[in-house]
Amino acid sequence: MKLIINGKTKEYQESLTVQQLLQKLNLSPDRVVVELNRQILSPDIHVKTQLKSEDTIELVQFVGGG
Partner 1 sequence: MDQLIIAGRKFKSRLLVGTGKFASNQAMVAAMEHSGSNIVTVALRRVDIDNPDDSLLSHIDPERYFLLPNTSGARDAEEAVRLAHLARAAGCEPWIKLEVTPDPYYLLPDPIETLKAAEILVKDGFVVLPYMPADPVLARHLEEAGTATVMPLGAPIGTNQGVRTRDLIAIIIEQANIPVIVDAGLGAPSHAAEAMEMGAAAVLVNTALADTPDPALMGQAFRKGVEAGREAYLAGLGAQRQQAEASSPLTGFLRNNR
Closest to partner 1 by CB, 38 vs 48, is 38
DSSP string, 24-54: HTT--TTT-EEEETTEEE-GGGTTT-B--TT
Per CB under 8 A, contacts with partner 1 among 9-48 are 10, 25-28, 30-33, 35, 40, 42
Closest to partner 1 by CB, 14 vs 30, is 30
Nearest alpha-carbon partner for 16 in 50, 55, 58, 57? 50
Binding site for partner 1 (CB under 8 A): 5-8, 10, 25-28, 30-33, 35, 40, 42, 58-66
